[in-house]
């Protein structure tokens, strides 16, 4: 057992001199041991630089968010040849103490694992794990006794693609695409890669990681939940397979509010994909007509992770994804008319992120002021030898929402320069110590995970809603929540998938600012049931069961 060591970081915000004012968002750095081992070699095999999925979820249902971290393997054999490559499950006692329970839980893994998605696929009340990796995916069923069972073969998720063979998954998303009360699985796949045919790319006379153009695209996959522990491959019939890409991020939301969850995939140096749910488990790819296939300049960018949530409190989920330096972090505002507007420049995100290389964006209200912010993990895709020609290791940044779709970038100001610059990768957010503030866990190549404890100074109010579906899926994924206070109205759509290769499976979090009273909470469940509550008490985790007032 080990204790996360606390720290405090005072900073500046938007040019205010140091120590004259506290930043409205502030984090302190703590560590969780166990370096991320991706088997980086001089030959620069592509998977080595892409590892690092993170998940926060309450695996033992004790009310505290626990931490799961994917890990790599021997790059040649794709096997965990040493204990240093073990995945990790760390149990949280809610007081900043974590215990490594990987061995007991049977979650060490066997292959080169990349991403993770959390969802209760069998509706038994215990959160399960899908772990995506290089040429191997694994479905772990939570048995409810502190252990997990590998049910991949039984579920039918271990079959190679008939055309592409074994695929490289960077994770996935759990979502009920047909509203039958069972979570289906969308798997996002990256490049077609093989150790034996790795292209040789050089930079300044040395091997370096290759541009994505050196590899073929691969198709994403949809598996429909049969309700008996098995899944049916609906990749082709759903329409997803017809649009292969180089997916590095997946996020879900009902962007047109028709009651069906849609899918956005951020692609690396090819067009992004927006799959509009047409019902009956069928999708139409609409990225071009919706305005999200490319950035305004028409250039391809290195699309990394993505999040899909309402940033301007108008009830329609917006899209943010991240890319490499000189590409900016694109931000698409949902117009409410079935399309999006690129507001990267007008929001300030463009100039603020121009010099940054990002991997995992996660949307959350980190200062509880009622406006959702964006935490971005940063670090370049290239190896350390590419420095100082490019800035490979970077500090993370939180983009504070100023309202009216404008943002301020806080790095040192938020305490995020307290640790060393790293090649950061995945991230997950959730309240780790029960103080009502969203914390963040970040992975980094060759380094221990960074646990950023939220110590934002304002005494703002908050509410977290723990959903329990009955007719809908048990997690309530896809539920749309409306909250009304004196300051206005906020919306959230429940999901566990966002960022890069990661999953945040805590309760749905609302910041309330100075409002100490909530006049109305409305939940529209995936089943179609609508429930309302008036005069709801804030500053707590509120457990809501579908159909129960």
Tell me the pLDDT tens digit for each residue of 211-252: 999 999 999 999 999 999 999 999 999 999 999 999 999 999
What are the extents of the domains in the chain? Answer: 27-461, 462-508+519-545
Tens digits of residue pLDDT in 332-367: 999 999 999 999 999 999 999 999 999 999 999 999
Helices (H), 97-162: 102-105, 152-155
Residue 266 and residue 253 in contact, taking contact as beta carbons nearer than 8 Å:
no
Q: Can you say whether the dihedral through the CA atoms of 397, 172, 541, 526 is positive or negative? A: positive
Four-point Cα dihedral 382, 383, 389, 395, nearest 10: 80
Per-residue pLDDT at 444 exceeds 70: yes
Residue 8 vs residues 28, 318, 497, 545: alpha-carbon distances, Å = 5, 33, 30, 38
Q: Supply 227's token pair.
A: 């309700």
Question: Tokens 């929001």 sit at which residue?
Answer: 347
515/27 Cα distance (integer angstroms): 23
Confidence of residue 458 (pLDDT cuts 50, 70, 90): confident
Tens digits of residue pLDDT in 65-96: 999 999 999 999 999 999 999 999 999 989 76
349/72 Cα distance (integer angstroms): 33
Per-residue pLDDT at 488 exceeds 80: yes
Per-residue pLDDT at 18 exceeds 60: no
Q: Name the β-bridge partners of 504.
A: 56
290/271 Cα distance (integer angstroms): 13
Q: Supply 538's token pair.
A: 């804030």
Architecture category of domain 27-461 in CATH: 7 Propeller (2.130)
Per-residue pLDDT at 2 exceeds 60: no
In a 3-state reduction of DSSP, which class is residue 199? Answer: coil
Per-residue pLDDT at 203 exceeds 90: no
Query: In terms of C-beta density within 10 A (0-12 exposed, 13-18 middle, 19 or more buried), how is residue 299 classed?
Result: exposed
Strands 2-3 and 97-100: antiparallel
Residue 27 and residue 440 in contact, taking contact as beta carbons nearer than 8 Å:
yes
- Where b means 16+ CB within 10 Å and e means fewer, 438-452 reads bbbbbbbbebbbbbb
Phi, psi of 37 (to 5 degrees): -110, 110
Tens digits of residue pLDDT in 274-320: 999 999 999 999 999 999 999 999 999 999 999 999 999 999 999 99
In a 3-state reduction of DSSP, which class is residue 235? Answer: helix
State residue 96's pLDDT score. Answer: 67
pTM score, two decimals? 0.95
Q: Is the peptide bond before 315 cis (omega within 30 degrees of 0)?
A: no
Residue 276 and residue 257 in contact, taking contact as beta carbons nearer than 8 Å:
no
Confidence of residue 120 (pLDDT cuts 50, 70, 90): very high
């Amino acid at each position: 057992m080990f204790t996360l060591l606390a720290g405090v970081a005072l900073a500046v915000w938007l040019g205010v001199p140091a120590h004259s004012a506290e930043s409205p968002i502030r984090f302190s750095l703590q560590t969780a041991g166990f370096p991320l081992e991706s088997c980086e070699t001089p030959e620069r095999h592509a998977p080595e630089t892409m590892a690092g999925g993170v998940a926060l979820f309450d695996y033992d249902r004790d009310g505290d968010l626990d931490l799961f971290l994917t890990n790599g393997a021997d790059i040649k054999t794709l096997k965990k040849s040493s204990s240093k490559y073990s995945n990790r499950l760390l149990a949280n006692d809610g007081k900043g103490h974590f215990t490594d329970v990987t061995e007991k839980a049977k979650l060490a893994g066997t292959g080169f694992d990349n991403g993770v998605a959390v969802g209760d696929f069998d509706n038994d009340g215990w959160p399960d794990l899908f772990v995506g990796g290089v040429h191997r995916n694994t479905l772990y069923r939570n048995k409810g006794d502190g252990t997990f069972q590998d049910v991949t073969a039984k579920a039918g998720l271990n079959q190679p693609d008939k055309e592409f063979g074994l695929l490289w998954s960077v994770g996935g998303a759990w979502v009920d695409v047909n509203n039958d009360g069972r979570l289906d699985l969308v798997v996002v796949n990256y490049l077609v890669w093989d150790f034996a045919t790795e292209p040789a790319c050089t930079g300044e006379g040395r091997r370096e990681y290759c541009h994505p153009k050196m590899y073929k695209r691969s198709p994403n996959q949809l598996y429909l939940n049969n309700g008996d522990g098995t899944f049916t491959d609906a990749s082709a019939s759903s329409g997803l397979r017809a649009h292969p890409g180089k997916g590095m991020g997946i996020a879900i939301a009902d962007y047109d509010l028709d009651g069906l969850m849609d899918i956005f995939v951020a692609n690396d140096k090819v067009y992004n994909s927006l799959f509009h749910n047409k019902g009956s488990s069928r999708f139409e790819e609409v990225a071009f007509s919706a305005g999200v296939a490319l950035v305004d300049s028409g250039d391809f960018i290195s699309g990394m992770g993505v999040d899909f949530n309402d940033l301007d409190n108008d009830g329609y989920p917006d899209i943010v994804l991240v890319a490499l330096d000189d590409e900016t972090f694109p931000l698409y505002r949902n117009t409410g008319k079935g399309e999006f507007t690129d507001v990267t420049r007008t929001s300030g995100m463009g100039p603020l992120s121009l010099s940054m290389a990002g991997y995992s964006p996660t949307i959350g209200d980190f200062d509880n002021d009622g406006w959702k912010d964006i935490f971005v993990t940063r670090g370049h895709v290239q190896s350390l030898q590419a420095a100082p020609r490019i800035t490979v290791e970077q500090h993370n940044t939180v983009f504070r929402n100023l309202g009216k779709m404008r943002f301020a970038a806080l790095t040192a100001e938020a305490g995020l320069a307290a640790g060393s610059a790293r090649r950061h990768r995945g991230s997950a957010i959730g309240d780790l110590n029960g103080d009502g503030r969203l914390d963040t866990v970040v992975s980094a190549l060759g380094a221990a995970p960074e646990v950023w404890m939220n110590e934002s100074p304002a005494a703002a109010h908050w509410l977290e809603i723990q959903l329990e579906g009955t007719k809908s899926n048990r997690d309530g994924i896809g539920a749309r929540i409306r909250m009304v206070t004196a300051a206005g109205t906020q919306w959230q759509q429940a999901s566990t998938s966002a960022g890069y290769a990661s999953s945040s499976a805590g309760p749905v979090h609302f910041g309330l600012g100075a409002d100490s009273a909530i006049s109305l909470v409305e939940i529209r469940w995936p089943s179609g049931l609508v429930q309302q509550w008036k005069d709801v008490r804030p500053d707590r985790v509120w457990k809501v069961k579908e159909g129960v007032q």
